[in-house]
């Protein structure tokens, strides 16, 4: 059981840090530069930049939740 608890925290900690730090990670590593937008011609430059930043942030938060999901499941099993 101790091993399951340790593995659960190994998945939980990076996943939760990724979710809560997504905005700063996107800003620091310029991840919004790689985001595609199919309707660029309908927005001005400021709206497009905000859209790309928000989309990159949401994508990173989803990845963080996928990292943390096995940790949540193991946490429920280990502390049952």
| Residue from 55, 54, 71, 53 nearest 17 by CA | 71
SS3 for 21? Answer: coil
pLDDT value, residue 68: 97
| H or E element in which residue 11 lies | helix 2-20
pLDDT value, residue 1: 87
pLDDT, tens digit (0-9, with 9 covering 90-100), for 10-47? 999 999 999 999 999 999 999 999 999 999 899 999 99
Show me where the domains of the chain are located.
2-78
CB 25 within 8 A of CB 60: yes
Query: Does the pLDDT value for residue 63 go beyond 90?
Result: yes
Mean pLDDT, to the nearest integer, of 44-61? 96
């Amino acid at each position: 059981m101790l091993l399951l608890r340790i593995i659960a925290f190994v998945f939980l900690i990076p996943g939760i840090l990724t979710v809560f730090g997504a905005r700063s990670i996107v800003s620091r590593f310029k991840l919004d530069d790689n985001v595609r937008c199919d309707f660029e011609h309908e927005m001005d430059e400021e709206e497009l930049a905000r859209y790309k930043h928000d989309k990159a942030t949401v994508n990173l938060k989803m990845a963080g939740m996928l990292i943390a999901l096995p940790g949540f499941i193991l946490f429920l099993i280990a502390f049952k």
